[in-house]
Amino acid sequence: MIRPGVTLGGRYRLEERIAGGGMGDVWRGTDEVLGRTVAVKILLPALLDEPGFAERFRGEARTMATINHPGVVDVYDYGSDQQLAFLVMEYVEGDALSRTLSRVGRLTPARTMALVAQAADALQAAHANGIVHRDVKPGNLLVRPNGTLVLTDFGIARSALVGQLTVAGAVLGTASYISPEQASGDVATPASDVYALGVVAYQCLSGHRPFDGATPIEIAMKHVRENPRPLPGDIPPAVRAIVDRAMSKDPSARWPSASAMATVARQAASSLTTAVQQPVAQPHQPARTARPTSPAPSRPQSGAAARASVPRPVSGARGAASVPSAPPSPMPPSYRPQSGAPVNAYPPQATPAAKPESTFGRQVLVVLAVVLALLVLLCAGVISFLLRHGNGTPAASNTLGYHSSSAAILRSDVVADPVLVASYRLMKADAQLGSIRPNEGRQTL
C-alpha cells in the first residue's frame, strides 16, 4: 500500500502525492542518504506484467540519465521494491503548464512562443541521444517561478499504444496530443514530438484542445482525419504559421527538427516582446488638460520636464518645459511670438510696468529740495549783498546832501522860521539812520 511515510529502496521516503497519470503517480519524497528533496515516479503494477516492459523502461532510464540539459529533468535513480518500479528524478519547484492553463485559460502569443522554444530545445537534446518522448503534453511541462521550463516523463509511453487507448479515462490527455502516425499504429519519431508540441501551443493560444471526443479512440482518430478549428483572430500570422506547420498531418511537412522549431519560436517571441515594449506614439491624440480657472500665470516649474497636468503659461525661457502635447489655442491678433521663443498653450498675459521704488524717489526729492533751498539762500545772500553795497554811496551822498543843505539853510538868512529849521534837523538825523520818516518827526513835534 502506497502512503506517506513509506520508504522505497531503503532511502527514498514518500511524503506527498503531487501528480498522477495513466502510467503511475508522482510523489514528493526525501532522499535520506543525501538529504535532498526528490520526485519519485511510481509505475502502475499492471505495466510490470507486460513482457519486456520493465527491462525496456530500465534501459531508457539509464539513457535519460545521460542527458545534460537545463530543460530536461535530471534522473537520479531507478529501482524496484515490493513489486513496484519507481524512477527517482529531480524535484522541480513550480507548476505544471496544465495547471496554469486551467487557472488562466490561455496565454499570450509572446509567452506561448517563449515556452515552446524552451520545450523544443529540451526535445532536441533528447532526440540527439536517440530518445523520443512520445507523451509531450502540458502535464509534463513544468514551469519554474523564474519562467524557465523543464520537460519530464521521457519514455513512459513506449508500452503498447492500443492498450493505452482502450483504457477509458486513463490516457485521455495523451490521446489529445497524440500524432496521426502514432494513432495509426506507426512508430513514433522525433516528428511525433514536434506534432505534440504544436498541439500544446494550439491549446495555449486558444484555451482549448484542437479535438474533443467521448473516448480516447475517437479523439485519436480525429487527429488522423480532421483539421483543427482555426485559431482566434487575434493571433499574429507568424505565430499561426508556426503552429499550423507543426500540426501538419504529414510528418515530412512539419518542422524538420525540434531545434528548427525552437529557432522560429524564439524569433517570434522576441519580435512580439519588442513590439509590446515600444511605446506607441499618438501625435494626433490631444492630451487631457483642464481649463485654467485664473488668467494669472503660475510659478515656473523646476526640472527639465513639466508635470503632465494643467498647462500653465510660464514667463521666461523655462516656460518651454510646460509645452503640452495638444496644439495651442488660437492666439489673439495682437500676440506675435518671436522665432525661437517657447510657445505655451495659452497666450502670455501682459506684464504690468514695474513701479518705481518709493524709497529711491523720496531720496531724490529730498536731495532736490536741499539743493533748491541752498540755491534760494545763495541767491538771497547775493541779492542782499548787492543791495547793501549798491545803496551805500547814495545814502552817504544823501546824508551829505542833507547835511550841506541844512547847513546852508542854517547859514542862510533867508530862512528865519524856527519850525522849518527844526524840521530840517530831524530829517538830517533820519537820513543818517537810512530812513526818512517825516511823519514821525512831525508827530514828535
How distant, in Å, are the alpha carbons of 325, 412, 438, 439, 445 from that of 417? Answer: 119, 11, 18, 19, 15
> If we measure between CA atoms, which residue out of 62, 58, 165, 148 comes closest to residue 111?
148
Farthest CA pair distance, the chain? 195
Q: Residue 16 CB: number of other CB atoms within 10 A? A: 8
345 in Cβ contact with 323 (< 8 Å): yes
> Could you tell me how many residues make up the chain?
445
- At 405, is the secondary structure helix, strand, or coil? helix
Residues with a catalytic annotation lie at: 135
Sign of CA dihedral 172, 177, 179, 180: positive
Nearest C-alpha neighbor of 66 from the set 55, 75, 77, 79: 75
Contacts of 423 by beta carbon, 8 Å cutoff, 6+ apart: 438, 441, 442, 445
Give the count of beta carbons closer than 10 Å to the beta carbon of residue 181. Answer: 19
Q: How far apart are CA 196 and CA 120, in angstroms?
A: 11
Q: Which three cell numbers stand for residue 141?
A: 511541462
Please tell me the distance from the alpha carbon of residue 68 to that of residue 291, in angstroms, as a whole number.
66
Distances (CA, A) of 317 to 236, 295, 313, 345: 48, 20, 11, 15
Q: Where are the alpha helices (DSSP H) in 159-230?
A: 161-165, 172-176, 180-183, 190-206, 216-225
Cβ–Cβ under 8 Å, residues 395 and 383: no
- Rounded distance between C-alpha atoms, residue 132 and residue 138, angstroms: 17
Instruction: Output the CA torsion sign for 267, 272, 275, 277.
Output: negative
Give the distance from CA 328 to its chain's centroid. Answer: 26
